[in-house]
Amino acid sequence: MLTRSVLLAATASLAFWSFAFAHDIWINRGGYRNPAGEWCCGAGDCFAIPGDTVSISAGGYVLRTFNEVVPFTEAQPSPDGAFWRCKRSDGSRRCFFAPPPST
């Protein structure tokens, strides 16, 4: 039973540090800012959004989970090809990254 608990704790810790390391690599170190000039990244405020919850409309990217539309002019290219949303402490969107359009 103890071995199982240790393995579970190690797995959770590895997942957390993997996320933190990946987050630190490209968003935080990229010097990304939104159109208002705010830094996109803060501690734990950026996360990937499943592509199947995002659609495109004439007005921009529709994030169904958040019931919001991100205008194309406010979206930044995602270096890893995934959708990412960075939020402020109140939950409002600070930055949004989208994969480059398919050609």
DSSP collapsed to 3 states, 43-64:
CCCEEEECHHHEEEECCEEEEH
**Residues present in the chain in total:** 103
9-46 residue pLDDT tens? 444 444 444 444 444 557 777 788 888 898 887 667 89
Q: What is the pLDDT of residue 30?
A: 76
Kindly list the distances between the CA atom of residue 14 and the CA atoms of 7, 11, 27, 56, 64, in Å, as whole numbers in the listed order.
10, 5, 20, 34, 30
pLDDT tens column, 52-100: 999 999 999 999 999 999 999 999 999 889 999 999 989 999 999 999 8
Residue type, position 56, single letter: I
What pLDDT was estimated at residue 60? 96
Distinct helix (H) and strand (E) counts, the chain: 1, 7
